[in-house]
Amino acid sequence: PANVGIHALEFHFPAQFVDQEELEQFDGVSTGKYTIGLGQTQMGVCDDREDINSISLTVVQNLVEKHSLSFKDIGFLEVGTETLIDKSKSVKTVLMTLFEKSGNFDVVGIDTKNACYGGTASVFNAVNWIESSSWDGRWAIVVAADIASYAPGPARPTGGAGAVAILIGPNAPVVFDQGVRGTFMNNVWDFYKPELGCEYPIVDGHFSSVCYIQSFDASYNLFTQKFAKRYSPHPEKKITSQDLDHVVFHSPNCKLVQKAFARMTYLDLLQDPENALYGPLKEWARFGQTEESYYNKDLERTLIQFTKDEYQKKVLPSLYAATNVGNMYTASMWAGLASLLSLTPEQELLQKRVGLFSYGSGSAATFFSARIVGSTERFKETIQMQTRLAQRIKVTPERYSELMLLRQETAGLKDYTPVGDTTIMAKGTFYLQHIDDKSRRTYARV
Ligand code: ACO
């Protein structure tokens, strides 16, 4: 099969959100800290009616319905998530409920986990399956879904929640470039969740941001080498950010994405310091990729300033979901791609190349790319990003804190019926009905 890639994307987010400006006031931090300092506008919040199973059920069923797919025609389904509610039973098995009526139980794939990277790992598994001798001609679906919540404190405004379902097959309008995945994995303790009963991670926020940038460096450098080897008539000439029309990043907060995009030009400069393109940046090349280069604020500011216009053009359109919903962990980068494809006019996307950077703490990261070769109209029609986000209900920061506390206090309970209001949910949303005395969960749909 040729041109394996993305045929469709479906995006689910919570029905309620909190405004980041109001949250700044409520938290008593300086005006602009969350909105300008972190680049966040709104943050989605779930009550106790949604869990990892319900948001995954929602996004798969909606994808299948919107694209008139048959469950019989799906041969692969994986879920990438770090929102674990069970040490053994996968979310994938819960999703098999949706397949029951069709009689199709022959669906390979299972859950994958490592912080925000699981969705990307599953996409690679799906692509590999289709390109392998195991492929039986059917669709692959990947779900990237998480409920991202932090304990009260500086990390809390970088929470959120979301789920993306990705329909993968040959001859797609968005085709993954082959042989160019630049991967970097190492052992760091920047963010981890050792307690199953608690949704909050242990996080070293500033360190995790540096880990993100360091992983970006390694993955992007490797990507440029692999890309040149595979596709360039001059393999000795690595590609640069100039060869990418758009770049979609995992977005823990939008400001970090702007820093990573700025860093990209710095890495390009290090490869070619004499190039007139980089003009005033040249003197900064002396820092190389030293430890200091990750912490020097003057360098960071200079790079951000130098890349400001490019950032508006190449990155900002993909941050619509991230700034209005927040971090969605595994779903973040894929919701970024959904933003780009659904909000940009088709003529501006056709024949364009998109770089993609996925990072999951701990850590696992890959930079890879895709090319838009077919119509993106269906993405726009089915995702309806702006219209659907505008239909959400705003809650006060007080209410937001109550909802977070409700989730915290009811996490892991048995024999529990959630209290969240299901009438506010968008049509087609699945919700948690009940957890019985043996921790078995049942779901219903609005
Ligand atoms: N107006 C404008 N900007 C402001 C203001 C203000 N009033 N106040 C602060 N800022 C700026 C700061 O200068 C800083 O900018 P800089 O990063 O360019 O230096 C930024 O806002 C953040 O302020 P800090 O004081 O650094 O923020 P804090 O220490 O409170 O926390 C952090 C930020 C570390 C991102 C925290 O929210 C966190 O831990 N988040 C979760 C971890 C995370 O997302 N890590 C990223 C990768 S891992 C992952 O994906 C989970």
Answer yes or no: are the C-beta atoms of 363 and 116 closer than 8 Å. Answer: no
- In this model, does residue 418 exceed pLDDT 80? yes
Whether 250 is a known active-site residue: answer: yes
Catalytic residue of the set 12, 78, 116, 300: 116
Per-residue pLDDT averaged across 63-71, rounded? 98
Residue nearest to atom 9 of ligand 1 (CA): 33
Residue of 82, 199, 211, 246 with catalytic role = 82
Where residue 238 falls among pLDDT bands split at 50, 70, 90? confident
The answer, yes or no, to whether any atom of ligand 1 lies below 6 A from the CB of 54, is no
pLDDT of residue 182: 98
Give the DSSP H/E element, type plus range, for residue 326.
Answer: none
CA of 75 to the centre of ligand 1 (A): 42
Neighbours of 427 (CB within 10 A): 7
Give the single-character DSSP code of 177.
P
Pairwise CA distance, residues 298 & 65, whole Å: 51
Tell me the pairing of strands 174-176 and 5-12: antiparallel
Listed in order, strand segments (DSSP E) in 278-427 are: 353-360, 364-372, 393-395
Closest residue CA from atom 30 of ligand 1: 154
pLDDT value at position 37? 98
Residue 321 near residue 348, CB atoms below 8 Å: no
Q: What is the CATH number of the domain that holds 429?
A: 3.40.47.10
From 82, 208, 250, 259, give the residue whose CB has the most ligand 1 atoms within 8 Å, as the site to mutate: 208
CA atoms within 13 A on the CB side of 159: 27
pLDDT tens digits for range 346-387: 999 999 999 999 999 999 999 999 999 999 999 999 999 999
The torsion defined by the Cα of 247, 11, 119 and 137, in degrees rounded to 10, comes to -100
- Residue 295, pLDDT > 80, answer yes
For 319-332, how does the pLDDT look when each residue is reduced to its tens digit (9 = 90+)? 999 999 999 999 99
Q: Which of 407, 348, 404 is nearest to 376 (CA)?
A: 348
For residue 116, which atom of ligand 1 is closest to its CA? Answer: 50
Beta bridge partners of 175: 5, 371
For 365, residues 6+ apart whose C-beta sits below 8 A from its C-beta are 117, 183, 184, 185, 212, 215, 216, 218, 219, 357, 358, 359
Q: How much distance in Å is there from the Cα of 203 to the middle of ligand 1?
A: 13
ipTM of the predicted assembly exceeds 0.95? yes
**What does the alpha-carbon distance between residue 444 and residue 107 come to, in Å, rounded to a whole number?**
23
- The pLDDT of 11-15, averaged and rounded, is 98
Known catalytic membership, residue 254: no
What CA–CA distance (Å, rounded) separates 82 from 90? 11
Q: Is 253 in the pocket of ligand 1 (CB under 6 A)?
A: yes
- Answer yes or no: is the C-beta of 88 below 6 A from any ligand 1 atom: no
CA 51 to ligand 1 centroid distance, Å? 27
Determine whether the shortest distance from the Cβ of 249 to ligand 1 is under 6 A. no
* Domain tally, the chain: 1
By residue range, what is the domain housing residue 391? 5-445
21 within ligand 1 shell (Cβ under 6 A) = no
Structure tokens at 224: 């440029």
How do 441-445 and 111-112 pair as beta strands?
A: unpaired
Whole-structure pTM value: 0.98
Q: What is the pLDDT of residue 1?
A: 92
DSSP-derived letter for residue 388 is H
Span from the CA of 336 to the centroid of ligand 1 (angstroms): 20
Instruction: Name residues whose C-beta falls within 8 Å of residue 264's C-beta, 6 or more positions apart in sequence.
Output: 216, 220, 241, 247, 307
Is the pLDDT score of 66 beyond 90?
yes
Tokens of 427: 């049509």
> Given this model, what pLDDT does residue 264 score?
97
Is 117 touching ligand 1 by the criterion CB < 6 Å? no
Cα distances from 114 to residues 134, 328, 358, in angstroms, run 25, 14, 11
Residue 393: both structure tokens together? 């209900």
Mean pLDDT of 295-304: 97
> Ligand 1: does its nearest atom lie under 6 Å from the Cβ of 154?
yes
Closest CA to 392 of 11, 8, 57: 11
Give percent above pLDDT 90 in the chain.
96
pLDDT at site 409: 96
Residues facing residue 17 across a β-bridge: 44, 394
**For residues 155 and 193, is the Cβ–Cβ distance under 8 A?**
no
pLDDT tens-digit readout, 111-136: 999 999 999 999 999 999 999 999 99
| Nearest of 42, 85, 109 to residue 328 by alpha carbon | 42
Predicted confidence band of residue 190 (pLDDT cuts 50, 70, 90): very high
Q: Residue 335 pLDDT > 90, yes or no? A: yes
Residue nearest atom 17 of ligand 1, based on CA coordinates? 37
All residues at 6 or more sequence positions from 294 whose CB lies less than 8 Å from its CB, including other chains: 210, 213, 214
The pLDDT value given to residue 239? 83
Q: Does ligand 1 come within 6 angstroms of the Cβ of 191? A: yes
Residues in the chain: 446
> Is 259 labelled a binding residue?
yes
Residue whose pair of structure tokens reads 């700025």 in the numeric block: 262
Cβ-based neighbour number of residue 398 at 10 Å: 11
Residue 198 annotated as catalytic: no
Q: Which residues contact 313 (CB under 8 A, 6 or more apart)?
A: none
**Residue 174, CA distances (Å) to 57, 166, 180, 369 in order:** 24, 11, 15, 10
Centre of ligand 1 to C-alpha 321, Å, is: 19
* 214 three-class SS: helix
CA of 152 to the centre of ligand 1 (A): 14
Q: Ligand 1 pocket, 361 CB below 6 A?
A: yes
106, burial (CB in 10 Å: exposed 0-12, middle 13-18, buried 19+): exposed
Residue 30 alpha carbon, nearest atom of ligand 1: 7
pLDDT, residue 403, reads 98
What pLDDT score does 223 carry?
96
**Mean per-residue pLDDT of the chain:** 97
Instruction: Give the pLDDT confidence score for residue 21 in this predicted structure.
Output: 98
What pLDDT is stored for residue 233 in this prediction?
A: 75
How far is 44 from 248, CA to CA, in rounded Å?
20
Cβ neighbours for 314, distance < 8 A, ≥ 6 positions apart: 241, 244, 245, 246, 247, 261
In this prediction, residue 234 carries a pLDDT of 75
Q: Which of the listed residues 23, 33, 259 should we mutate to test ligand 1's pocket, taking the one with most ligand atoms within 8 A of CB? A: 33
pLDDT at 231: 85
Query: Is 33 annotated as belonging to a binding site?
Result: no
At 232 the pLDDT is: 79
Provide the percentage of residues in the chain whose pLDDT is more than 70. Answer: 100
What are the counts of helices (DSSP H) followed by strands (DSSP E) for the chain? 15, 17
Contact 11, 383 (CB under 8 A): yes
Q: Is the CB of 213 under 6 A from ligand 1?
A: no
